[in-house]
Amino acid sequence: MLRDKYANEIDALLARFPQKKSAVLHLMHLAQNEYGYLSDAAMREVAGILDLDPTHILSLAGFYSLFYEEPTGRYVLEICNDLACALRGADDFVDMAARKLGVPPESTTPDGLFTLKTVMCLGACHRAPMLQCNLKFYENLDETRFDALLADLRAKAAAGDPEPSVVERIFSYVGER
Ligand code: FES
């Protein structure tokens, strides 16, 4: 349970906000990182910590593409193919990525390592083709850079080095002030 495993971190996080509910996105990231995706049980757990109705968590999970309601691969490759990126070749890039991974968009490779998704604007339109992998941006991509990224992520997975640690990012500023 999140409350038991991250008691100190959650207390420190909640102390930073005037209202508990303001920490909802942080706790949703924490739950997703812990369980791999936001299951119904995970959303109810977050709602319980924050004294919110579970339907509120469900609505946020549905709104933000960063939250997954289904199991995903270890690395979620979210390629923006919204209009501005499409004008810079994002659709061809998505096709190339799907070919390299051997799975179509919105699916996961059989080894569970990669989930390929397409998403709406991530705010890096001028650096397309771009993707976000586990909250980290990769920009000005081409086939060579994509190959290098896949090789790097496979090497990190083989070394047991998750990339990146969402929990570390969530709590990196807790206690700084
Ligand atoms: S349209 Fe792709 S980042 Fe904005």
141 and 97 part of one domain: yes
Q: Edge to edge, what strands does the sheet with 107-108 contain?
A: 107-108, 114-119, 75-80, 131-133, 136-138
For ligand 1, is residue 7 a contact (CB within 6 Å)? Answer: no
On whether residue 176 sits in a domain, the answer given is no
Mutate to test the pocket of ligand 1, among 88, 118, 121 (most ligand atoms within 8 A of CB): 121
Structurally, the chain folds into a number of domains equal to 2
Question: How big is the CA angle at 85 (ends 119 and 121), to the nearest 5 degrees?
Answer: 40
pTM over 0.85: no
Is residue 88 a part of any domain in this protein? yes
Q: Is residue 177 part of a domain?
A: no
Q: What is the pLDDT along the chain (177 residues), one digit of tens a residue?
A: 999 999 998 999 999 999 999 999 999 999 998 898 999 999 999 999 999 999 999 999 999 888 999 999 989 999 999 999 999 999 999 999 999 999 999 999 999 999 999 999 999 999 999 999 987 899 999 999 999 999 999 999 999 875 555 555 556 655 443
The reply to whether ligand 1 has any atom less than 6 angstroms from the CB of 124 is: yes
Ligand 1 lined by 85 (C-beta under 6 Å): yes
Helix (H) or strand (E) segment spanning residue 115: strand 114-119
Pocket lining: 87 vs ligand 1, CB cutoff 6 Å: no
107-108 vs 114-119, strand pairing mode: antiparallel
Least Cα distance to 57 among 25, 9, 30 occurs for: 25
